[in-house]
Amino acid sequence: MNQIRNQLIKFMTGRYGADKLGRFLTATAFVLLVAGLFIRNPWVDFIAAAVLLVSYYRMFSRNIRRRFEENQKFERVSFSIAETFRRWRFRLQQGSKFHIYKCPSCGQKIRVPRGKGKIKIHCPKCNTDFIKKS
């Protein structure tokens, strides 16, 4: 048992191993494999196998710098997607309680509470006042 472990350690030395992108690819392959059980389209299985192959290729790769750069790129993209969703959700939550108006003279966005009838809005940036329905 110990010998197998040592051989595995020896085999993995100098190889890239798992990272965030690797885990994402493995999870994607797994989801596709499960989906393939229901969808029964050979393409789903094929794509799942291809994704799994790529994730293993990256794990055993010796080109560590290249794999690191791929992971960096992936992290950047996944961060911006998460950020977009976060902003989107924030706007949705705010949308029921607040109204966002743009100042007619400088374009500054101003958040006002909803349901207060006609109100005078004061722009904090250029000191313009304008009347809107909240």
Please say whether the beta carbons of 5 and 11 come within 8 A.
no
Would you say 87 or 125 has its CB closer to Zn ion? Answer: 125
Would you say 23 or 102 has its CB closer to Zn ion? Answer: 102
- Both tokens of 87, joined, read 């902003």
Measured from the CB of residue 90, what is the shortest distance to Zn ion in angstroms? 23
Q: What residues make contact with Zn ion under the rule CB under 5 A?
A: 103, 106, 108, 123, 125-126, 128
CA atoms within 13 A on the CB side of 116: 13
Measured from the CB of residue 115, what is the shortest distance to Zn ion in angstroms? 23
Measured from the CB of residue 110, what is the shortest distance to Zn ion in angstroms? 8
Would you say 28 or 128 has its CB closer to Zn ion? Answer: 128
Measured from the CB of residue 101, what is the shortest distance to Zn ion in angstroms? 10
Would you say 18 or 126 has its CB closer to Zn ion? Answer: 126
CA 45 to CA 70: how far, in whole Å?
Answer: 25
CA atoms within 13 A on the CB side of 27: 7
Lookup result for tokens 């190889």 = 15
